[in-house]
Structure 1
Amino acid sequence: MTLLRINYQLLRIPLQFVEHVAITQLDEQAPARLAYEKLLIQCDRAAGYLLNDENANGRAAELHRHTTAVRVGIASRHRRVDAEGATLLDLQRARFHRRRRPHRDTDPA
């Protein structure tokens, strides 16, 4: 098991290098960054489970907490934008109906 853990740690070095050099330069909410972080979480969870590696479990848990907070922020912003859009649409619909009413009253039909 120890040999497998060492191999995983060696495999993780290039992944960490990519994370530190390229991924951290991206915005926290960038889809590419979130996808890469999800990959790291899955790799660490697998290593934690298969190799009984507590360090990998800890890394996965910490990164999962961080990305969850980012995703919740993104979802909150999307809900707020959707609510604002729905409110604006309701206002425009009401304005449209107010403008249409006088035309119906003056139609000779």
Structure 2
Amino acid sequence: MPLQFVEHIAIRQLDEQAPARLAYEQLLIRCDRAAGYLLEDENAHGRAAALHRHTTAVRVGIARRHRRVDAESATLLDLQRARFHRRRQPRRNTDPA
């Protein structure tokens, strides 16, 4: 009951990608797995499995977004580095004298 109270009052207010929510959901998964094992409760096993699938999907989405941002940052850095090197090269005199 106390975990349900915390979930209804605080956790549902958080973004599903918030670290605190993901940590809390990991705690719930472990509790449901333990209850499922110790009490031979199939419902607890099912809740743990469903929540695990959900949090895994959320974490994969976060990882993909981070990889995309890293790739975009690397591309931008390469462009800026190339621009810097072009500016540092001595200019050739194209004026025929």
TM-score (norm 1): 0.80
Q: Give the structure 1 partner of residue 68 of structure 2.
A: 80
Q: Give the structure 1 partner of residue 81 of structure 2.
A: 93
Counterpart Cα distance in 2 of 1:90 and 1:48: 52
Q: Give the structure 2 partner of residue 41 of structure 1.
A: 29
Counterpart Cα distance in 1 of 2:89 and 2:16: 50
Cα distance, 1:63 vs structure 2: 0.6
Counterpart Cα distance in 1 of 2:50 and 2:4: 15
Counterpart Cα distance in 2 of 1:30 and 1:66: 14
Counterpart Cα distance in 2 of 1:62 and 1:23: 17
Counterpart Cα distance in 2 of 1:78 and 1:89: 16
Counterpart Cα distance in 2 of 1:84 and 1:29: 21
Q: Give the structure 2 partner of residue 57 of structure 1.
A: 45
Amino acid in the other structure paired with 2:40:
N
Question: Matched residue pairs, number?
Answer: 93
The structure with more helix, counted as a fraction of residues: 1
After the TM superposition, which segments of 4 or more aligned residues of structure 1 sit over 4 Å from their partners?
none
Cα distance, 1:82 vs structure 2: 0.3
TM-score (norm 2): 0.89
Counterpart Cα distance in 2 of 1:62 and 1:20: 18
Cα distance, 1:50 vs structure 2: 2.1
Counterpart Cα distance in 1 of 2:52 and 2:58: 10
Percent identity over the alignment? 85
Structure 1: runs of 5 or more not aligned? 1-12
| Two-structure CA RMSD over aligned residues (Å) | 1.5
Cα distance, 1:94 vs structure 2: 0.5
